[in-house]
Amino acid sequence: MINFNYLKILILSTLSFAAFGYANFIGYSYQQCITCHYNPYGNGPLNDYGRALGATLVSSKEILKDSLSDEDRAEMSSFLYGKYKGDYFKPHANYRGLYYKTDIGSETSQAEWINMMANVGFTFRPTKNDSLIVVASIGYAPEPSNPVTGEEPSTYRSREHYIGWRPSKNHGLYFGMMDKVFGIRIPDHNSFSRTVTNLTMNDGAHAALYHYTNKSFDFGLQYFLGNLQQDENVRPSGFTTQFEYSLNNLNRVGASFLSQSNTFSSQSMWALHWRAGILKGSSIMVEFGRVTKEFEGSEATTSEYFFLQNHILIKRGLFALVTFEQFKDNIEDTDKTLKLGPGIQYFPFQGIEARFDIYNLRSLSEQNYSNDTWSFAGQVHIWL
């Protein structure tokens, strides 16, 4: 039963959904995050175009079907369903709540409602073409079940605060607290591609990011000091880089590399990723990566993960999705963990998302047998 407990801990300790970079929108031929987000790697507040797109292309129009045209919906997709005024100051607010039930069918089953985040923030745009932006978000965050050593657990934190300067459309420089650039930035922060790599919502860092983009590719190079709120000894600093290339308007391949260390440990990792749009909103996303971690006084171990997520657009606003993941804690062992997660994602109206996932976790080992575990996650996400 060793693995059973391990899996249980794994789920509970890494459970966190946040961020809202929807990389799967390549299914609509949107390849680059900067089209919809102020941050060139997604996440964080949406720009006006992204909000309008969310209100029209992505969200269902069943609610107020007869009284609101798509033009109306786009027009009222600004803060608090307001109209666009060409503001210099763009406020935003986000809430994400999660109902999570673990070990379904077992006596140890637990269920709870977690307020994952309740953020408010703003984007300051002194220039109309967004060549200069200031982004900041602060809000409630649940105390992590695996707090980072040396960090005072706090239920309020700054998710991000950075200044972005794009001297031209192609080049951008960003300074401040932001997420690290690595892999496909998906909203499922409980996936192995986010947890094993230490890239969950609480792993942002004070960093300097250079971003280059053109029609064919994106390149990013980021140097980070770590989260300056953390104790210096445990704060991982290092650099990361990512390259993504468009094979055509529906296929994008990329590679990422990250290296970081603190006083006690070092970590290096790489990933290869591919996003494919299958048109009309459906998509496939694949990421394969290896993470090598070395702690002081012990040998380095390399983990391996494989992430596959497919979206099927059933009708406007409604997706069926399946996440399939494989994780090897140590590539020298044959033991591995499989995770299969069928789910439903529904955007009933602009600024509202509901998502339901069932996760089947299976351990494959030559040393022991363990039963599968099943869990359920139901989320509500509101962004205004």
Partner 1 sequence: MVIRSLLLLILFIPIANALTLRDAANAYKKRQYRKSIKIIKKISKGNIKFYTDDSLILMSKNFEQLGEMKNANMIRNFMISRKYRKENREVKKALAGKIDLDDLDELPKGLLKVYYMMLSSRYDMYLKNKSARNKKAVIKFAELLVEQDYKSDKAEIILKRFRDEEQRKKDAIFYKKYFMLASYASWQDEIILTDDASGFEQDINSTAQGTLLTAGMTYGNAHGEYRFQLSVGFGAATVGEDSGDFDYFQNNVGETLFSFTSGYLWKTSDNVSIGVSAPLLLRIGDFTEPDGFTISQGTIITTGLLAHMVWNINSYFLNLEFGKVLKLRSSFINIGVGYTF
Please report whether residue 101 would count as binding partner 1 according to CB under 8 A.
no
To the nearest whole angstrom, how small is the minimum distance from the Cβ of residue 318 to partner 1? Answer: 10
Please report whether residue 362 would count as binding partner 1 according to CB under 8 A.
yes
Using the structure block, give the residue that is written with the tokens 């089209």.
35
Q: Which residues, in sequence order, are bridge partners of residue 245?
A: 217, 253
Among 365, 376, 380, 382, binds partner 1 (CB under 8 A): 365
To the nearest whole angstrom, how small is the minimum distance from the Cβ of residue 147 to partner 1? Answer: 33
To the nearest whole angstrom, how small is the minimum distance from the Cβ of residue 336 to partner 1? Answer: 9
Question: Amino acid identity of 366?
Answer: E
Chain-centroid distance of CA 281 in Å reads 19
Among 158, 229, 301, 371, binds partner 1 (CB under 8 A): 371
Question: How many residues are listed for the chain in this entry?
Answer: 384
Span interacting with partner 1, options 144-152, 193-201, 222-230, 367-375, rule CB under 8 A: 367-375
Please report whether residue 1 would count as binding partner 1 according to CB under 8 A.
yes
Using the structure block, give the residue that is written with the tokens 């006006």.
48
- Rounded Cα gap, residues 15 and 9, in angstroms: 10
Please report whether residue 282 would count as binding partner 1 according to CB under 8 A.
yes
To the nearest whole angstrom, how small is the minimum distance from the Cβ of residue 56 to partner 1? Answer: 19
Interacting residues of 155 by C-beta distance below 8 A, sequence separation 6+: 140, 141, 142, 143
Tell me, by CB under 8 A, how many residues bind partner 1. Answer: 30
Strand (E) or helix (H) holding 72 = helix 70-75
**Which residue, 105, 164, 75, is CA-closest to 358?**
105
**Nearest to partner 1 of 171, 280 (CB atom):** 280
Per-residue x/- mask for partner 1, residues 306 to 345, rule CB under 8 A? --x-x-xxx-----x-x-x-------------x-x-x---
For the chain, the C-alpha Rg in angstroms (whole number) is 20
Decide: 247 and 253 in contact? Cβ < 8 Å: yes
Please report whether residue 138 would count as binding partner 1 according to CB under 8 A.
no
Span interacting with partner 1, options 11-19, 207-215, 228-236, 274-282, rule CB under 8 A: 274-282
Please report whether residue 280 would count as binding partner 1 according to CB under 8 A.
yes
What the block records as the tokens of 352 is: 């509202």
To the nearest whole angstrom, how small is the minimum distance from the Cβ of residue 241 to partner 1? Answer: 28
What the block records as the tokens of 205 is: 């860092």
**Nearest to partner 1 of 122, 359 (CB atom):** 359
Among 120, 225, 354, 364, binds partner 1 (CB under 8 A): 364
Site for partner 1 in 21-80 (CB under 8 A): none
**Nearest to partner 1 of 301, 360 (CB atom):** 360
To the nearest whole angstrom, how small is the minimum distance from the Cβ of residue 28 to partner 1? Answer: 12
Among 60, 360, 376, 382, binds partner 1 (CB under 8 A): 360
To the nearest whole angstrom, how small is the minimum distance from the Cβ of residue 153 to partner 1? Answer: 36
**Nearest to partner 1 of 219, 306 (CB atom):** 306
To the nearest whole angstrom, how small is the minimum distance from the Cβ of residue 249 to partner 1? Answer: 14
Q: β-pairing, 301-315 with 156-165?
A: unpaired
For residues 28, 31, 32, 33, the Cα torsion angle rounded to the nearest 10 degrees is 50
Chain-centroid distance of CA 349 in Å reads 21
- E strands in the chain: 89-102, 110-124, 132-140, 156-165, 171-178, 205-213, 217-226, 237-248, 251-261, 265-277, 283-295, 301-315, 318-328, 336-349, 352-364, 373-383
Q: Residues interacting with partner 1, by CB under 8 A? A: 1, 276, 278-280, 282, 284, 308, 310, 312-314, 320, 322, 324, 338, 340, 342, 360, 362-372
